Structure 1
Amino acid sequence: MSISLSKGQRIDLTKTNPGLTRAVIGLGWDTNKYSGGYDFDLDASAFLVDQNDKCTNDLDFIFYNNLQDPSGSVLHTGDNRTGEGDGDDEQIKIDFNKVPANIHKIAITVTIHDASARSQNFGQVSNAFVRVVNEDTNVEVLRYDLGEDFSIETAVVICELYRHGSDWKFNAIGSGFSGGLASLCQNYGLSV
């Protein structure tokens, strides 16, 4: 049975789900009716960070132009440029057994492509969610629905998966940034 989380909640992933070694992080959203003349293109990304909450190099940033980290532990399944249809709009797969020892946290984010040029923000996005599915059993372990508490933000840290001893935990973050992808990259120690 899937557990539904609220903003700020933390939950154990691997300790209470002992068979969970490979997870699918499914992200989805809808866009409000908006007549700005541009389609929305939301992009999921993962930042693999060390104990200082920083990426050690550019290859620790997983997104539509870098679909997999060198260890093969994190894989982005590809860019969905329209968000059409039901279910997950984009997915990131994580193999917890392959995550390098120096990676302490995996931050999952969503940004709006060309948000400032298109005058778009997360105030125009609804029904955003993240869910964690056990890839081996296809069973949803948890779900976090973000709610509608954004206005000018163009990037959101959706959640973090982090090490706790030998186990992995999930933190429902839901924190917005106004500077888009550039702000997120700088936050995680990457130069833009």
Structure 2
Amino acid sequence: MGITLVKGQKIDLTKGSSGLSFLTVGLGWDPVQEKGFFGRKRGVNIDCDASAILLNGQGKLVKDSNLVCFYNQVSGCGSVRHSGDNLTGDGDGDDEQIMIDLKKVPADVEKILMVVNIYQCVERGQDFGMINSAYIRVVNSQNNQELVRFNLTDNYGGYTALLAGEIYRQGGEWKFNAVGEGAYAAHIDILAERFQ
């Protein structure tokens, strides 16, 4: 079990771990349970999409290929890969994963921001107040050891996107920041525009 962080906390991922080069960032969530007929509980069908935005030192997305999401599953440099789209969030464990090869991340990329947005949130009238048990975790892909976990426990009602966490480069080391910030964006492309 890794270190559990709270919003705003930062941790060094690579200090003392010279061999750490492959990370898996797991994001998970569950739809809230609504009472249906005869008191049975059922989950609302919510399609959350995890994405990674590769940013330069000024916090800018400088290339379209630096947005890794359900429709662009590999960054242009090949350092970041998306596991594929989970349409419901049902089941245990990570709903979507983003794999990062730290040695392949180009020198001009200083930060990899992990975000989640709700697909067709406007059409379906959905927001993150309808999500339970959201988290982001970072795992050493080489031995499957969880390094850090951040449970997103704030009330995100009304928000249609979440800036969950970021992996960033500082002084030759890779670190993790538990961001946990809500945002309004009907699509990942709209969210990405904030960084152009």
> Which category describes the TM-score, using the shorter chain as reference length?
over 0.9
**Distance (whole Å) between structure 2 residues aligned to residue 64 and residue 182 of structure 1:** 11
The aligned amino acid for 2:8 is G
Q: Which has the larger radius of gyration?
A: 2
Aligned-residue RMSD, C-alpha: 1.5
Q: CA deviation at 1:185?
A: 1.3
Query: In 2, Cα distance between the equivalents of 1:55 and 1:175?
Result: 18
Q: State the alpha-carbon separation in 2 of the partners of residues 16 and 27 from structure 1.
A: 25
- The code of the aligned residue for 1:147 comes to T
Q: Is it true that 1:6 corresponds to 2:13 in the alignment?
A: no
Partner in structure 2 of residue 93 of structure 1: 99
Are 1:123 and 1:148, in contact at CA under 8 Å, matched by a contact in 2?
no
Q: Deviations over 1:21-41 (max 9, x none)?
A: 100000000111258x97210
TM-aligned CA deviation for residue 182 of structure 1: 4.4
Specify whether residues 55 and 65 from structure 1 end up closer, same or farther in structure 2 by C-alpha distance, changes over 3 A only.
same
**1:130 aligned partner:** 136
Provide the residue aligned with 1:44 in structure 2: 50
Corresponding position of 2:26: 26
3-state SS, counterpart of residue 4 of structure 1:
strand
TM-score by length of 2: 0.91
Gaps of 5+ in 1: none
TM-score (norm 1): 0.93
Can you list the C-alpha shifts for 1:137-189, whole angstroms capped at 9, x where unaligned? 11111100000421100000000110002111000000011233344111111
Given that residues 177 and 183 in structure 1 are in contact (C-alpha distance below 8 angstroms), is that contact kept between their aligned partners in structure 2? no
Q: How far apart, CA to CA, are the structure 2 residues paired with 1:182 and 1:98?
A: 24
1:165 to 166, 171, 186: 171
The alignment-based identity, stated in percent, is 44
